[in-house]
Structure 1
Amino acid sequence: MDITLEKASDTNASLKITLTPADYKPEVDKKLKDYGRKVQLKGFRPGHVPASLVQKMYGKSILVDEINSMLSKTVSQYIRENKLQVVGDPVPDREQADAIDWDNQTDFAFSYTLGLASEFDIDFGDLPSVTQYEIQAGDAEVNSTIAELQQRFHSHSHGEEVGEGDTIYGELKQVNASEGTESFSAKTAFPMAQMAEEAKGQFIGKKKGDVVTFALEQAFPDEKARANATGVKKEEAANLTGEFTFEVDDITRHEPAELNQEFFDKVLGVGAVTDEEQFRTKVVEIIRGNYARESAQLLRLDIEKTLLKNTPILLPDEFLKNWLLEVNEGKFTPEQIDEQYDDFTKSVKLQLIKNKIADKADIKVEYNEVLDVTRQMVREQFGFMGGENEEMNQTIDRIARNYLMDEKNNGQNYTNTFNRVYDDKIIDYIKTQMTIVTQDVTVDDFKALVENR
């Protein structure tokens, strides 16, 4: 076998492969013998079909399959062993392949066009610093968070008069039913929050025992809200229109939870804090924790931007555009490829940079690392705690393994999780090599930074 790489430029090359009988004949002969033992042909006992007949019937297809398999392995191995930074897929010379005379040729020549990324290196010492933002929660943010928690852990009370956010309970009656149908009536509840604004004035201020006459479809124009208010199915609620009466039996409203031990225990767990000062300190931690993931994501984006901006890489643009058109099988026009090409090349360059960093730092991902991440995902998704409960840990482990090995999507779950773990490990390594400056910011300033990104 003869393999030659011919570089036309830094980003374009061709790979030429020449095969002789010594390369493919031993494996082809072996497969022909296997066929001879297994093939069943009328007039011959199994395993006794003449080799010449087996050759005539299956020789060409076995030869073609073997050479295609050999080419695929050879191209991949050559690229890997020579650490070629190939972008896109190698494109075979189809005219050359179509011209092959499989019946008479013994030597075969093949050619592949390669798109290459230009040589580049990453010197972390030359890269500018990136900023990691530490969110500082001020009194306003703490107070609004506590107010939201008080609403979330609200209590109920009974009101004397109907207010804006109340729920009113009573009897709903239809005034004029259609001829031949029974008048609708039901004991039900009206959440004022679901009522149309223009209809609320008829109810606000009413007391127990008061009767309101109103048009149901005007109070609840949304059929889903009307179904909730009447207690019937959505399709049935669509037919409930016209004049109705509602007699108020009870009025309930949400009261914000009081800042007391019961409230602290509900929010943080029993005994976590014992006074308001400790609670406010914990709330600050909650706020910072809520923004920690966004802060980490922002840092990741800034690291990637810095790497891209400071690592010049040339790509084979014409080759890549043609390749994108071909692999997408007419899903995109050349104009659409041009529109999206910049974003595509950024992702290609970024992956090349990360792969080079991973190669230099010898970053690898083991199966157990992928499994551990999946176990944690299962715990978060299903609310499993694990810990010392062996039976629960076994359940988590079983679900995680089944997810990774799901045959319905050809192992895509494993591939996606592997890639995520691999990317995270690369980013974690980069953080140890780049200069990262910590900066305190308020919640509002951080929100503005996120919006601008």
Structure 2
Amino acid sequence: MEITLDKASDTNASLNITISPADYKPEVDKKLKQYSKTVSLKGFRAGHVPASLVQKMYGKSILVDEINSMLSKTVSDYIRENKLQVVGDPVPNREQADAIDWDSQSDFAFSYTLGLASEFDIDFAELPAVNQHDIQAGDAEVDSTIADLQKRFHEHTHADEVGDGDTIYGELKQVNAPEGAEGFTAKTAFPLNQMAEDAKGQFIGKKKDDVITFNLEQAFPDEKARATATGAPKEEVAGLTGEFTFAIDDITRHEPAGLDQAFFDKVLGAGAVSDEAEFRTKVAEIIKSNYNRESEQLLRLDIEKTLLDATPIMLPDEFLKNWLLEVNEGKFTPEQIDEQYGDFTKSVKLQLIKNKIADKADIKVDQEEVLEATRQMVREQFGFAGSENEEMNQTIDRIARNYLTDEKNNGQNYTSTFNRVFDDKVLGYAKEQMTIASQDTTVDEFKALVENRQA
């Protein structure tokens, strides 16, 4: 077998392969013998069909299959062994392949067009520093968070008159029932936050024992909200229209929780803090912890951006655009490919950079690492903390293995988890090699940074 690589430029090349009988004949002959032993043909005993007849019937198809198998392996092995920075897939010369005479030829020539990335290297010492934002939660952020928590852990009180956001309890009656039907009536509750804005005025300011006459459909135009307000089955609620009366029996209101020990215990757990000052300190720590996760994600993005900006890589643009059109089989127009090409090349270059780092640092991901990452995902998803309970650990392990081997998605679960572990290891290594500068950042400043990155 002869293999040659002809580079037309830094980003375009042809891989030429010539296959001779010595390369394929032993395997083709072997498969023909196997067919001779198993083929069933009328007029011949099993295993006694003449070799010449087997050759005539199956020789060409066996030859084609063997050559195609050899080509696939040869191209893949050559790219890997020579560490070619191939982007996209090798594109075969179809005219050359279609011109082959499988009946008479013994030597076969094939050619593949390769798109290559230009050579590049990564010098961590030359890269600029990247900021890691240490989020500082100020009084305004703590006050806002505590106010939200007070609303979430609200208390119920009984009000003297109806206010916006209250829930009123009472008896609902239909004023004009359809002819021959009994008017609808129910003891129910009206949450004013589900009522149409222009209907609330009929209820706000009313007191216990007041009776309001109103149009039900106008007050609750959404059928789902009307079903909640009336308690009627879904199939009946569409017919509940027109005038109704509502006699108020009680009015309840959500009041923000007080800053007392009961509230502290609900939010943080019994005895975690004993006064407001300790509570504020703990809330500030939680805010900082929550934002630190986002800060870590922003750091990853900034590391990737720094690597991209500092690593010039040329790509075979025309080859890639044609390849994208072909592999997407008419899903995109050339104009749409052009529009999205910038984002595509960023992802290609970033993956090339990560692969280069992994190669230089000998970073690998084994199956056990993928499995352990999946176990951890299961623990987080189902709220399982680290446990010494063997039965629980076995359950987690079984769920993780089933997730990774799920045949419904053709191994995508394993691939996506592998890629996530790979990225974590590569970016973790890059972080160790780069200069990371800690920077105190307020919550508002950090939010602005994130918005600018997403813009």
TM-score bin, normalised by smaller chain: over 0.9
- 1:58-97 equivalences in 2 (<5 Å): 58-97=58-97
Deviation (angstroms), 1:151: 1.4
Deviation (angstroms), 1:235: 4.7
Q: Which amino acid aligns with 1:167?
A: T
Which residue number in structure 2 is paired with residue 126 of structure 1? 126
Partners of 1:383 and 1:130 in 2: CA distance: 34
Indicate whether 1:354 and 2:351 are aligned.
no
Indicate whether 1:14 and 2:10 are aligned.
no
Q: Deviation string for 1:108-152 (max 9, x for gaps)?
A: 110000000000111111111111111111111111111111211
Partners of 2:38 and 2:405 in 1: CA distance: 34
Deviation (angstroms), 1:90: 0.4
Deviation (angstroms), 1:273: 2.1
Q: Which amino acid aligns with 2:340?
A: Q
Deviation (angstroms), 1:253: 1.5
The alignment's TM-score, normalised by the length of structure 2, stands at 0.97
Same amino acid, percent of matched pairs: 82
8 Å Cα contact 1:216/1:244 also seen in 2:
yes
Which residue number in structure 2 is paired with residue 153 of structure 1? 153
Partners of 2:224 and 2:342 in 1: CA distance: 45
Deviation (angstroms), 1:363: 0.8
Indicate whether 1:47 and 2:47 are aligned.
yes
Deviation (angstroms), 1:403: 0.5
Which residue number in structure 2 is paired with residue 25 of structure 1? 25
Partners of 1:261 and 1:39 in 2: CA distance: 85
Which residue number in structure 2 is paired with residue 331 of structure 1? 331
Partners of 1:281 and 1:369 in 2: CA distance: 38
- 1:281-292 equivalences in 2 (<5 Å): 281-292=281-292
8 Å Cα contact 1:132/1:438 also seen in 2:
yes
Partners of 2:390 and 2:166 in 1: CA distance: 47
Which residue number in structure 1 is paired with residue 185 of structure 2? 185
Structure 1 residues 234 and 291, CA, compared in 2 at 3 Å: closer, same or farther?
farther
Question: RMSD over aligned Cα, in angstroms?
Answer: 1.2
Report the more deviating stretch, 41-50 or 18-27: 41-50
Q: Deviation string for 1:363-408 (max 9, x for gaps)?
A: 1111121112111211222222341222211111111110111011
Residue ranges of structure 2 left out of the alignment (5+ in a row):
none
Deviation (angstroms), 1:260: 2.4
Deviation (angstroms), 1:234: 4.0
8 Å Cα contact 1:11/1:316 also seen in 2:
yes
- 1:50-449 equivalences in 2 (<5 Å): 50-449=50-449
Deviation (angstroms), 1:267: 1.4
Residue ranges of structure 1 left out of the alignment (5+ in a row):
none
Report the more deviating stretch, 20-29 or 297-306: 297-306
8 Å Cα contact 1:128/1:435 also seen in 2:
yes
Partners of 2:380 and 2:134 in 1: CA distance: 25
Partners of 2:373 and 2:276 in 1: CA distance: 37
Q: Deviation string for 1:186-226 (max 9, x for gaps)?
A: 11110111111221121112222111111111211222211
Structure 1 residues 291 and 234, CA, compared in 2 at 3 Å: closer, same or farther?
farther
Deviation (angstroms), 1:237: 2.1
Q: Which amino acid aligns with 2:404?
A: L
Question: SS at 1:400's partner residue?
Answer: helix
Q: Which amino acid aligns with 1:366?
A: D
Partners of 1:266 and 1:321 in 2: CA distance: 58
Partners of 2:273 and 2:365 in 1: CA distance: 41
Partners of 1:386 and 1:296 in 2: CA distance: 23
Q: Deviation string for 1:75-115 (max 9, x for gaps)?
A: 00000000000000000001110111101111111000000
Partners of 2:386 and 2:422 in 1: CA distance: 25
The alignment's TM-score, normalised by the length of structure 1, stands at 0.98
Q: Which amino acid aligns with 1:430?
A: A
Partners of 2:323 and 2:247 in 1: CA distance: 71
Aligned residues: 453
Q: Which amino acid aligns with 2:161?
A: E
Q: Which amino acid aligns with 1:406?
A: D
Deviation (angstroms), 1:270: 2.3
